[in-house]
């Protein structure tokens, strides 16, 4: 199943009948369960879907993606309201909750499917991405070089149902306890003002 690859922000009608703006951005930074768990907690984020982007195969499944042969990265596709949270803030959170300096891995998750990658939908998004990465480099936030790929969005395939909102459904699982919980705690301490109620 491919998401609508339309470029740019989408206009919708909210419950009061007034126009509201929605934007999408697709991010990969290791296992998609981690990013999914964090972005669901953010005020202004309206939808998070775990899935696959950046590969050559149509309609990939988890089993094929984990081989690393399809070229896809595990990603989350985020729909957000820029009147509530900016793309810049979305990216600042992204760079706090994963290590953008490790090539094709995050911790014990190793392979191109776990690469650090951002898919942009228009020049405006790319300009913001370049700005955020430029600031991180200028401030020397990381000891090593940032290896995050920045590429145009082409297609997105939603992952299987059991991957969606994985953390909430499996909080007692070892991966959730030892990998996701520390990322969530770090995020919550650093971005308290951006938390949902």
Interatomic CA distance for residues 78 and 161, integer angstroms: 17
Whole-number Å distance between alpha carbons of 143 and 150: 20
Q: How far is CA 75 from the centre of its chain?
A: 6
Catalytic position from the list 31, 34, 105, 176: 31
CA angle 188, 191, 195 (to 5 degrees): 70
For residue 59, is pLDDT > 70? yes
Residue 186 within any structural domain of the chain: no
Task: Report yes or no: 22 and 9 within 8 Å, Cβ to Cβ.
Answer: yes
* Residue 9 maps to a domain: no
Q: Identify the domain containing residue 34 by its residue range.
A: 20-177
For residue 45, name the pLDDT band (cuts at 50, 70, 90). Answer: very high
Helix (H) / strand (E) element for 95: namely: helix 87-97
Say if residue 5's pLDDT is above 80: no
Maximum alpha-carbon separation in the chain: 49
Residue 91 lies in a domain: yes
Look up the pTM and report it. 0.88
Residue 5 lies in a domain: no
Look up the CATH number of the domain holding residue 173: 3.30.1060.10
Contact by Cβ (8 Å): 166, 33: yes
Query: Residue 76 to residues 31, 36, 95, 132: CA-CA distances in angstroms?
Result: 10, 6, 14, 19
3 or 46, which is more confident:
46
- Give the whole-angstrom CA distance, residue 44 versus residue 117: 22
151 lies in some domain: yes
pLDDT at position 20: 53
Instruction: For residue 196, tell me if it sits in a domain.
Output: no
Find out whether 153 and 118 touch, Cβ atoms under 8 Å. no
Number of domains the chain contains = 1
Known catalytic membership, residue 31: yes
pLDDT in tens, 153-162: 999 999 999 9
Q: How far is CA 194 from CA 90, 93, 127, 161, 163, in A?
A: 10, 10, 23, 27, 24
pLDDT digits (tens, 9 = 90+) for 12-36: 444 444 445 899 999 999 999 999 9
Q: 8 or 49: whose pLDDT is higher?
A: 49
Average pLDDT over the chain reads 90
Share of the chain above pLDDT 90, in %: 87
* Residue 10 clears pLDDT 80, i.e. is over it: no
Lowest mean pLDDT among 1-5, 70-74, 142-146, 185-189: 1-5
Q: What is the pLDDT of residue 133?
A: 98
- Does residue 192 form part of some domain? no
Segment 162-181, tens digit of pLDDT: 999 999 999 999 999 999 99
Q: Is residue 3 part of a domain?
A: no
């Amino acid at each position: 199943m491919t998401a609508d690859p339309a470029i740019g922000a989408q206009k919708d009608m909210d419950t009061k009948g007034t126009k509201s703006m929605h934007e999408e951005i697709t991010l990969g930074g290791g296992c998609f369960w981690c990013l999914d768990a964090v972005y669901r907690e953010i005020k202004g984020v309206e939808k998070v879907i775990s899935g696959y982007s950046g590969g050559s195969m149509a309609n990939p499944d988890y089993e094929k993606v984990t081989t690393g042969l399809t070229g896809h990265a595990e990603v989350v596709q985020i729909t957000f309201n820029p009147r509530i949270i900016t793309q810049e803030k979305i990216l600042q959170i992204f760079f706090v909750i994963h290590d953008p300096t490790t090539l094709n891995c995050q911790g014990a998750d190793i392979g191109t499917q776990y690469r650090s990658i951002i898919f942009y939908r228009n020049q405006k998004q790319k300009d913001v991405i370049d700005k955020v990465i430029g600031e991180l480099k200028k401030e020397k936030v990381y000891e090593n070089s940032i290896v995050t790929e920045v590429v145009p969005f082409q297609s997105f395939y939603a992952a299987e149902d059991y991957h969606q909102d994985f953390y909430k459904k499996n909080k007692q699982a070892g991966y959730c306890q030892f990998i996701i919980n520390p990322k969530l705690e770090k995020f919550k301490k650093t971005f308290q003002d951006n938390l949902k109620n």
